[in-house]
Structure 1
């Protein structure tokens, strides 16, 4: 498997971050997030699902793999990274959109103590755009570990107004990005900036993974 590792190799905190459905592991968004958490001495390891890796190596553009393939690959990545991480390291998993959803599904399926501590989602796809009745939250009650969701207020995959009416478990935390879209970026007229929302996202992620560290 090919990985992109950012941050100290011997860090005691490791974030395994999966990409979204349409962009690779080294998209500008993924690069910015990885670089941001690395400044807090957190090692961020990125990988690509088989369909995206195929595109990178000259294959034709394909849609995402079926869910069982995505989950199996993600689990293998977690196993491999956990075997090479420093002893006693805290491992977190997460991803952008689809990648974050796969991380929550793995957490929901864990029947024994998993290799990871918690899950981080960046723009979770709570429902398909324009179809708010088709929610993707049925598995959330099965998740026993903490979850952080960084979500734009106006994300078409789940707005703040919609999500605040969901009956989600109390250990699902939110970082709301003002006027943020699915990429967490606000509109120019809002008075907020993409850079501000990204900085707030990274700060929330770092605080979630290392809450006891002095800032």
Structure 2
């Protein structure tokens, strides 16, 4: 929840008038994360404090996998509230295991998807993601951070520069999508 890129993106989006909710799920159990994510979505829908009229779900790494699974499940149930999916450092495959693709949920997502990934991400080989994106039915945009690894670190660039680049890409994509 307090991962610096997520804090930066949500702070930036909120400063531009977009309500953001961050939460954390400990552990790598995808089913648990999906259940927790769905509970947060349901809470936001029922909230009397916030009027929600459209949701973009997103996450970083395993959180992006959970968000993709939730978007797929909700849209299978004809959920009209979901506007899009934002995947930061999507873990397409385990490190050095490019044959073990994690795409089952992605292929069934119908809402617009934004991927932000690094060209040096050891868990998301560029050519593999581009191949999977070409098979997706959803309108999809991939934004590559040149030289970035899975943690979005780039030699020779400050973390702030990278976060500014990511933030502006997410905001402009949301604005284009709504």
TM superposition score category, shorter chain reference: 0.7 to 0.9
- Give deviations 1:90-131, integer Å, cap 9, x for gaps: 211111110111111112223223232111011000000110
Is 1:122 the counterpart of 2:88 in the alignment? yes
Per-residue deviation, 1:30: 2.3
Tell me: CA distance 1:27–1:90, structure 2 relative to 1, closer, same or farther (3 Å): same
TM-score, structure 2 as length reference: 0.87
Aligned counterpart, 2:140: 172
* CA distance 1:91–1:134, change in 2 (3 Å): same
Distance 1:87 1:34, change over 3 A: closer
Q: 2:72 corresponds to which residue? A: 108
| Aligned residues of 1:109 and 1:142 also touching (Cα < 8 A) | no
Q: Is the CA contact 2:44–2:50 (under 8 Å) kept in the aligned structure 1? A: no
Say whether 1:81 aligns with 2:44: yes
**SS of the residue 1:138 aligns to:** coil
Q: Structure 1: which 5+ runs fail to align?
A: 1-24, 53-62
> What is the RMSD computed on CA atoms of the aligned residues?
2.0
Q: Structure 1: which 4+ aligned runs deviate by more than 6 Å?
A: none
When normalised by structure 1's length, the TM-score is 0.73
Instruction: Note if 1:208 corresponds to 2:173.
Output: yes
The total of aligned residue pairs comes to 173
Matched, 1:147 2:147: no
Q: Specify the structure having the higher radius of gyration (Cα).
A: 1
Q: CA deviation at 1:212?
A: 7.7
Whole-angstrom distance in 1 between the partners of 2:82 and 2:104: 21
Q: In the TM superposition, what are the counterparts of 1:1-215 in structure 2 within 5 Å?
A: 25-49=1-25, 52=26, 63-64=27-28, 66-84=29-47, 86-87=50-51, 89-110=53-74, 111-114=76-79, 115-166=81-132, 167-169=134-136, 171-188=139-156, 192-211=157-176
Structure (1 or 2) with the greater helix fraction: 2
Show CA shifts across 1:110-166 (max 9, x none): 322323211101100000011011001122221111111110111001132332233
